[in-house]
Structure 1
Amino acid sequence: MKKLLGIALGILTAIGGFVDIGDLVTNAVVGSRFGMGLTWVVLVGVVGICLFAQMSGRVAAVSGRATFEIIRERLGPRAGLANLAASFLINLMTLTAEIGGVALALQLATSVEPMLWMPVAAFGVWIVIWRAKFSLLENVTGLLGLTLIVFAVAVFLLGPDWSQLIGQALHPTVSQGEHTVTYWYYAVALFGAAMTPYEVFFFSSGAIEEKWTVKSLAQSRVNVLVGFPLGGFLSLAIAACATIVLLPQSIAVTSLSQVVLPVVQAGGKIALAFVIVGILAATFGAALETTLSSGYTLSQYFGWSWGKFRRPAQAARFHVSMIICLLIGLGVLATGVDPVLITEISVVFSAIALPLTYLPILIVANDPEYMGEHVNGRLTNALGMVYLVIILVAAIAAIPLMIITGAGA
């Protein structure tokens, strides 16, 4: 049982990171417009986030030190500050989207306007971070998020033409009426949703919270190899549901209710109950991760005391910074901006910021001063360089594609 609970950090990171509001919306949009034609991006993203998280977890376990503390020391304060600024702003944008996602999930359950749920969602995130133990946070939220498997069940209940779905995945084409540039814009967005930087910062900081050592490297690998592929599988299930139900009817995804429509069609009210629980757990888990990540990144860079294992009085700036970030996110949502729109923009900017967060980890993971004999092997470095190129291409292409397509419109 302890070994099973040991992978909970990976499950939480996958459910609350890989399958957050960004992935729910982006995969549903892609499925409703391009079918399974972007399956390859999800697969590339899964391998990439596994590589990224594995290096980050190993750095934390071997060095016993936090990500941003090492980055600042290894690359210098200026490079570290650029990394911090990019990561923090993307994290804050994602946090705002996740709070909105929790409110939208509660709207599905109650039909009460999301604006009324947003303060409740932010307060709930704060109280859980303040009072709940880290182990309880990861176990409960991660395991409840597994109810999103209802998307995979819905695919089977809908009785699709499997040869058509597999054909779309193996032979991707641009759907009739769509432009090639738009296809590539959503490829970048989907890649950004899969490799959101906060997932890795939360994962590595969680390793410090749980006091991982060199002996924990096997657990780290299990977390990565179970959690993120699971998130990728659920992402493909979401896209498949949209492909089967929404694409033939030309239904554009602009709300969370449209994301769950195929599940309701497949399994009725029981399936709806499961999917609401799953979305609520995933978005709430992601809100916890992004809130903690905001405190982690600031505290680690500036050398503040941090961690849920420390009481608020012992890590005051860590806890205050998280409260401020929650209030900023709530203030942005109070303007009436659409959380779905924030989500769509945040995943694209995640792709833009990736080089600033990925490259330092790749450098430190190859530094024997920090890693000793646990530096990257040849295969990891080969994959690392391939993904560095992919990440740079995605980051360079993101803004031009966003401008040309009008953010995928």
Structure 2
Amino acid sequence: MKKLLSLALGILTAIGGFVDIGDLVVNAQVGARFDLSMGLVVAVGVLGICVFAEMSGRVAVCSKRPTFDLVRERLGPRMGLLNLVASLIVTALTFVAEIGGVALALALISSVNPLLIVPLVGLMVWLVLWRAKFSLMENVLGLLGLALIVFAVALWKLGPDWGDLGHQMFTAAKPGDETWTTYAYYAVALFGAAMTPYEVFFFSSGGVEEGWEEKDLSTMRANVFVGFPLGGLLSLAIAGCASTLFGPLGVDVASLSQVALPVGVALGKIGLAVVLVGFVAATFGAACETGLSTGYSLGQYFGWQWGKYVKPGGATRFHLVLVVATFLAVGILMTGVDPILVTEASVVGSAVALPLTYFPILVVANDKDYMGEHINGPLANALGTVYLVLVVLAAVAALPLLVITGMGS
């Protein structure tokens, strides 16, 4: 049982990183509009985040320090500051969207206006970040987030043509009424969502919080190679459900209630209740993950005491960042901004920030002074180099595609 619970960090990271409010909607949108023709993009993204999360976790194990801390030390304050600013903007935007996503999910349950729920959600998130133990947070939210597996059950129950879905997965084809620029925009968005920068920073910081040692390398790798592929499979299941139900009808997905509809059609009220639990757990877990990441990045760059393993009185500036970030997120949402649009914008911003995140990780993972005998091997370096090329291409293409397609509309 203890070994199973040790996988909870990877599960929480996967649920929070792959299946947050933006991905819940974007994967359904892509499935409804493009079927599973972007399934390979998800697979490529999963492999990429596995490569760099494993490096990041290995750095944390070997150095007992989080990746962001070492980036500043190894590459200097200027490169570290670029990394800080880029990742902090994306993480802060995502934090706003996740708090809004929790409110949207609770609104589906209660029928209360989401704006009335936002302040309560902000308070709940802050209380968890302030008082809850890290292990309790990851175990409860990570495991409850597994309720989203109901999408896989619903897909099976909907009875799609499995041969057709498999063909779509390996065919980069678009419907006749879509343009290739729109197709490319969503491909870059899915890739950016899979490799969001805060995922690796949260993962390595979480390893330090849990006191990983060299003997925990196998547990760390199990977290990576179970958690992230699980998130990818959930993404494909959401897209598959939308493709099966909405694709033939030409329906465009624009709300969280539409994302849940295929589960309700396939499994009735029980399935709907389970998916709503998954929505709340996944978005709340993502809110905690991104909220902590704002504090992690600032604390580690400036050398403050940080972390949930430290009592609030011993990490005052870290906890002040969490308070300010939560307050600002709630304030932004109270203006009536759409959390889904905020997340889609953050996904594009994530694609732009990818090179600044992953190049430093690759450098540190090859530094023998930090890594000792656990420096990157030939396979890790080859995959890391290939993905650096891909993230640079995604970063260059992201903003032009955003403008040309009007955010995929």
Other structure's SS at 1:178 match:
coil
- Report what 2:112 is aligned to: 112
- Report what 2:401 is aligned to: 401
- Report what 1:53 is aligned to: 53
Distance 1:6 1:71 in 2: 27
Distance 1:264 1:19 in 2: 19
AA partner of residue 312 (structure 2)? P
- Report what 2:316 is aligned to: 316
- Report what 1:41 is aligned to: 41
The Cα offsets for residues 236-285 of structure 1, whole Å up to 9 and x where unpaired, read as 00000010011111111111011111111111111110000001000000
AA partner of residue 269 (structure 1)? K
The Cα offsets for residues 266-305 of structure 1, whole Å up to 9 and x where unpaired, read as 1111111000000100000000000000000000000000
Distance 2:337 2:396 in 1: 27
The Cα offsets for residues 19-75 of structure 1, whole Å up to 9 and x where unpaired, read as 111211111110011000000000001000101110000001100112221111111
Matched, 1:306 2:306: yes
- Report what 2:32 is aligned to: 32
Q: Superposed, which structure 2 residues align to 1:154-303 within 5 Å?
A: 154-303=154-303
- Report what 2:383 is aligned to: 383
Distance 2:279 2:354 in 1: 26
Q: Number of paired residues?
A: 409
Q: Which has the higher mean CA deviation after the structures are superposed, 238-247 or 18-27?
A: 18-27
Distance 1:338 1:22 in 2: 11
Give structure 2 stretches of 5+ with no counterpart.
Answer: none
Distance 2:346 2:250 in 1: 25
Contact 1:6–1:219 (CA under 8 A) maintained in structure 2: yes
Other structure's SS at 2:229 match:
helix
Shift of 1:353: 0.6
Distance 1:380 1:22 in 2: 30
Shift of 1:18: 1.5
Distance 1:176 1:32 in 2: 14
Distance 1:25 1:347 in 2: 12
Q: Superposed, which structure 2 residues align to 1:2-151 within 5 Å?
A: 2-151=2-151
Contact 1:23–1:194 (CA under 8 A) maintained in structure 2: no
Shift of 1:102: 0.2
AA partner of residue 113 (structure 2)? E
The Cα offsets for residues 343-398 of structure 1, whole Å up to 9 and x where unpaired, read as 11111111111111111001000010111111000000000000000000000000
AA partner of residue 305 (structure 2)? S
Distance 1:305 1:99 in 2: 26
Other structure's SS at 1:246 match:
helix
Shift of 1:11: 0.6
Give structure 1 stretches of 5+ with no counterpart.
Answer: none
Other structure's SS at 2:313 match:
coil
AA partner of residue 380 (structure 2)? T
Distance 1:182 1:313 in 2: 50
Distance 1:205 1:344 in 2: 25
Q: Which has the higher mean CA deviation after the structures are superposed, 386-395 or 22-31?
A: 22-31
Distance 1:66 1:226 in 2: 21
The Cα offsets for residues 176-204 of structure 1, whole Å up to 9 and x where unpaired, read as 20001100000000011111111111110
Shift of 1:168: 1.1
Contact 1:26–1:193 (CA under 8 A) maintained in structure 2: no
The Cα offsets for residues 311-365 of structure 1, whole Å up to 9 and x where unpaired, read as 1110000000011111111111111111111111111111111111111001000
AA partner of residue 198 (structure 1)? Y
Identity %: 63
AA partner of residue 326 (structure 2)? L
Distance 1:406 1:10 in 2: 35
Q: Provide the TM-score with structure 1 as the length reference.
A: 0.99
Shift of 1:224: 0.3
Shift of 1:120: 1.0
AA partner of residue 274 (structure 1)? V
Distance 2:355 2:25 in 1: 24
AA partner of residue 264 (structure 2)? V
Contact 1:105–1:279 (CA under 8 A) maintained in structure 2: yes
| Root-mean-square deviation (Å) | 0.7
The structure 1 segments of at least 4 consecutive aligned residues displaced by more than 3 Å after TM superposition are none
AA partner of residue 375 (structure 2)? V
Shift of 1:172: 2.4
Distance 2:39 2:28 in 1: 12
Matched, 1:347 2:372: no
